[in-house]
Every structure is written in structure tokens, then in C-alpha cells.
Amino acid sequence: MSTSSKRTRATVRATVIAVAIGAVAFPAAADANPRPNRPAKADVMTRNLYLGADLGPAIAAPTVPEAFTAVGDIYKKMQDKNFNARAKLLVNEIEATDPELIGLQEVSHWLRDDTVDGAPSESNPNAVSATETVYDYLDLLTDEIARRGLKYEVAVVQQEADLEFPADTSGDGTPDFDARLIMRDVILVEKGVEVKETGGANYPINATVNTAAFGPVTVKRGFTYADVKVRPRAKKFRFINTHLESFNAAVRNFQAGNLTLATGVTDVAYPVVLVGDLNSDPDDPSTDPGPPSGENNDAYETIIGDGFVDKGVGVNTCCFGEDIRDATPNVTSRIDHVLGKGPVEELSSFLIGTDQANRSGTGLWPTDHGGVVAKLRVGAP
């Protein structure tokens, strides 16, 4: 039974008793005139953490030995991008901007296994998944947050792609171990934010690439959400975080359509704030040949068509070079977004991740994206 139902029944009982003894009873002032929930002022952040390397060379390798070497190169590049150091830079940003809600994408978990048997599958049923953690980006980030004395909690985690391949780090084409990458989308909430409900799912349509070495490789994508109140009497709203397909505009648009039309997750009676790496630039109408072909701004436009309004920055956010040690980042696309549906007012928004003072000792940037922080008023009439 809800609290409001209990109060109503208690009030009715009290009134009946009072009338029976000839008294006049008045409901408690709090019940007669409940204080309305107020618009919520909330700072939100979206941040792609960058898995640490470009997976393309392994997918495009023409032979099995070359694919093994490409996986080994990816593994070494990931280690060179030292997430221990990058986590400190990311927490510098969190500490400086103090967002109540953070949407994270490419929250990678890298693992390895000395047994070279690839990933378990229907065609490889006896293989065993790698379980030895090399870097868990979520653990490293939350540990650094706690070390600083900041108060954030993980509200929801959604597992996306899970890829495991033999890796050759010596360059001779013979694998030395299995390397595994699990990618996740995560929502962090600051202490004091009340989380009412959470959820997440994978999209039913994902990009599949036929590789010469590994056969069909599917990269799963998905979304997370949390219904929150940033303060006890603030308006409730839904906070959604997603990472849409990177390399196929048509698949990306199918995912945007699934999110906004099929799941029902954006169709609620209260305001919605959506953040994430949409991989869709509203200023880029060029055609991605696919197959199937699609416009690069389609996914963004599909989400806007669901009633969302842009509440983020109007400048480019992506992407730095694979090495993420660019002397001066040359970002060429706007794919990291903050959007609002319903009564969501943008008070201000700004780009993060391009501060020359916030780099590691070896010149690493926090990630290969800029991030976006938006100050919002949610629930205003």
C-alpha cells in the first residue's frame, strides 16, 4: 500500500470518529495542502571512456596470422593508454564540475587467458572465456572517485559487446594468449540522488561484420536508464544513457528508432533527459554506404522526432587520434549529446576534455572524445 493511501484512510477514520462524538475534525495541514514537487536543478555529464585502441585492423585482417597479430597490437595499444592514469584525469573533471548524474559509455573490461582457444560459441563449444582481469575501467574509476572522497554510486550497468580473440604480441603470427574485451554502459549518481527505478537492454539490431579470420563478429549496443529525484521534493525525471552503433548509419538509426519507438523507455509521463555517444552528427547529412546505406544524421533526427530537444553544446566533440596524445585535438564531429523531452530547460552547457592542463605525464588526454556537461532545470512549466 502506498504512503498516500495510508494517509487517506487514516484521515477518513479520524473524521468518522470525530463526527461520532460531536466534534469537528480537520485533516492535517500537510494532507490538505501537500507541498508540490519543485523543478529540479540537475547537472548531467556524458563521457565516452575510450576502450584504448581501434578494433578495425583486427576486423579487416585478411589472414588468420595477421588477425592474431592485429589483436596483439590492439592489446598493447590499450595498455599504452594506461587507464590508471586516465581515471585520475576523468575524476579531475568530475570533481571540478560536480554533476549529479553521469552517463558513461565504453566502460571497458579487459581480460586475458593463457589458454588459446578463442571465445565460446556454437562452433567452438569447448572454449573457456578469459577471466583474468587486466583493466576494469569501472572499478578503477570508482576507486579513484572514492579515494578523492567524492560520493558517487553505480546506479545501473548494461553489458554490451563481448569479444574474445587469440592475441599475438610478439609479431610472429602465433597467438600467445586470448584477449577479451567487454564493453558496458553505466550510470553514476551522486550521493543524495534518490534512484526510484533502473533498467537497461541491448538493442535487437546490431552491426555484424564478416571477418576473414574470425567469421561473423557482432558488436552489441544498448542503453541504461534511471528514474531519479535529485532532491527529496524535486520533480522526478528519467535519465537515459546510450551508445549507438559507430560504423553503420542504418543500424545506428534502427537502434535510435528502437529506443524511442519500440521500448517505451522514452514514453513516460514525466520529463526525460537522454545523454550519450549517439555517433550521429546533426550537422553531417552525408551518406554512409553501409550496407544498408543511411545518412549520418539520421539517428539524431529520429530521436529529435520523438520530441527531444538539444540541450547540449553546439561545438564538435569527437574524436582525438587513436594515440590520444594529440598536441592540439582536431575534433571534427558533434556526436556526444544531451537531449531533453518534456519540461527540460538548458541553463548552460559546456565541453570538457580539451583542457591542456588536464593531461597525464606522458601526454594522454582523458579519452578520445570531449565530454559534455549541461546544467538543466527539469520539470519547470
The Cα 45–Cα 367 span in angstroms is 14
DSSP one-letter code for 58: H
Q: Supply the Cα-derived Rg of the chain in whole angstroms.
A: 24
The DSSP output letter for 125 is T
- Per residue of the chain (381 residues), what is the pLDDT tens digit? 444 443 333 333 333 333 332 333 333 334 455 556 789 899 999 999 999 999 999 999 999 999 999 999 999 999 999 999 999 999 999 999 999 999 999 999 999 999 999 888 878 888 899 999 999 999 999 999 999 999 999 999 999 999 999 999 999 999 999 999 999 999 999 999 999 999 999 999 999 999 988 999 999 999 999 999 999 999 999 999 999 999 999 999 999 999 999 999 999 999 999 999 999 999 999 999 999 999 999 999 999 999 999 999 999 999 999 999 999 988 999 999 999 999 999 999 999 999 999 999 999 999 999 999 999 999 976
The structural architecture, per CATH, of the domain 37-378 is: 4-Layer Sandwich (3.60)
pLDDT tens-digit series, residues 113-134 = 999 998 888 788 888 999 999 9
Please tell me the distance from the alpha carbon of residue 87 to that of residue 1, in angstroms, as a whole number: 44
Distance, in Å, from the CA atom of 279 to the CA atom of 302, rounded to the nearest integer, reads 13
Reported as type and span, the H/E element at residue 249 is helix 249-257
198: three-class secondary structure by DSSP: strand
Question: Which residues touch 88 (CB under 8 Å, ≥6 apart)?
Answer: 144, 360
pTM: predicted TM-score of the whole model, two decimal places: 0.89
List of E strands, 253-334: 272-277, 287-288, 294-295, 308-310
* Residues whose CB is less than 8 angstroms from the CB of residue 289 and which lie 6 or more positions away in sequence, other chains included: none
State the residue for C-alpha cell 552489441: 220
Contact between 255 and 299 (Cβ < 8 Å): yes
Asked whether the beta carbons of 177 and 206 are under 8 A apart, the reply is no
Cell of 381: 512549466
Residues of the chain within CATH 3.60.10.10 domain(s) are 37-378
Q: Nearest Cα to 203, choosing from 221, 177, 180, 183? A: 221
What are the pLDDT digits (tens) for 169-183?
A: 999 999 999 999 999
pLDDT of residue 126: 86
Quick one: cell of 221? Answer: 549496443
For the segment 223-234, what is each residue's pLDDT rounded down to a tens digit?
999 999 999 999
